[in-house]
Structure 1
Amino acid sequence: MLPITEDHLVIRTDFSDPSAWAAVQADLAQKWDDEFDIYVEIIDDPAYDGLGPEQFLAMAPADYPHQIVVLADSVTMADPERLLLVVSLEESDEEREAFLREHGYWDEETAAGGRGWENGWPQRGGVFRSTAPGVGAIAANLSVANMDLGEFATAVDEQGVFRNFENE
């Protein structure tokens, strides 16, 4: 099971480059928007070496308190920007659809466009990359329910990276 923590998790899953990991930790120690701390719980445990999103989905209980887990994987370590992998732990589309139908908010027109990030719907297991400042913005806003994960997922750039609304 995933550890239950106050803050969202950033889990190291690649142990091939200690200097790259040190750089990731330094990035996460910076402030986002030049004023806000990045509140995450960093897990640096070789037990997670090589694990991917599917394994973390299986480790998240149904009542897990966070909507995401962030992975520092092999791509993170190899990328000069140290882009982290954000994995959605949100409910599946089917559960969301049932909730919306039950409460009279289902919109057949929106649903016809498909499900997933493209229309802001939650997608359990959906992934996108983010900069460390982006992770700070995501974690902070999800923690206070100011924004939902779909808003971040649909704000990725053409490379599929959330950069903390830099292009707005």
Structure 2
Amino acid sequence: MDRGSAGVRRARRPGGPLGVNRAGRRPVALVDDRRYEGLTPGQALDLIPAEYRHPLLALADSVAVASTELPLLVVDLRGERGRCVRVVAAELWGIENNLSGANMDFEEFAGAVGDDGVFRGF
């Protein structure tokens, strides 16, 4: 297991930013397969089956795993398919919950990024 994979796994532990959310479920499913390493968001989109119904895809790319904040690359799958925003792992649950429940749009999160292009919450 490499450093990036280990970091994502730690984040998924109970109490971690990608652990069980307030609704008692995990907001993300982890796919740890080196065949997908280095994929661009466009290439990843091409692999998603038509019946996939989740509102987003979160990629733990080289930028994400290089930071202790784990700023995941989140890809919009509904509104403007393929639009991306970086989101610290600790805030992924909020985006997933609000997009899944249609409470907010992807644009609201993309418009609330910091000067460095990373969403850290409202």
Fold match, TM over 0.5? yes
How many aligned residue pairs are there? 116
Q: Deviations over 1:18-45 (max 9, x none)?
A: 233222322243258xx73652111111
Q: Give the aligned partner of residue 39 of structure 1.
A: 27
Whole-angstrom distance in 1 between the partners of 2:116 and 2:84 = 13
Q: State TM-score, norm by structure 2.
A: 0.80
Runs of at least 4 residues off by over 6 Å: none
Q: Give the aligned partner of residue 109 of structure 2.
A: 152
Q: Structure 2 matches for 1:100-139, cutoff 5 A?
A: 122-139=79-96
Whole-angstrom distance in 2 between the partners of 1:21 and 1:47 = 13
Unpaired stretches in structure 2, ≥5 consecutive residues: none
Q: Give the aligned partner of residue 26 of structure 1.
A: 10
Identity %: 42
1:82 maps to 2:70: yes
Shift of 1:123: 2.3
2:44 maps to a residue whose letter is F
Against the structure 1 CA distance between its residues 147 and 28, is the aligned structure 2 distance closer, same or farther, given a 3 Å change threshold? farther
Against the structure 1 CA distance between its residues 48 and 39, is the aligned structure 2 distance closer, same or farther, given a 3 Å change threshold? same
2:112 maps to a residue whose letter is A
State the secondary structure of the residue aligned to 1:21: helix
Greater per-residue helix proportion: 1
2:53 to 65, 68, 80: 65
Q: Is the CA contact (8 Å cut-off) linking 1:73 and 1:84 kept in structure 2?
A: yes
Against the structure 1 CA distance between its residues 140 and 63, is the aligned structure 2 distance closer, same or farther, given a 3 Å change threshold? same
Shift of 1:135: 0.9
1:21 maps to a residue whose letter is S
- Provide the alpha-carbon RMSD of the alignment: 2.2
Relative contact order higher in (CA < 8 Å, ≥ 6 apart): 1
* Higher-Rg member (1/2): 1
Shift of 1:127: 0.9
Whole-angstrom distance in 2 between the partners of 1:43 and 1:63 = 18
Whole-angstrom distance in 2 between the partners of 1:51 and 1:22 = 19
1:162 to 97, 111, 119: 119
Whole-angstrom distance in 1 between the partners of 2:27 and 2:54 = 13
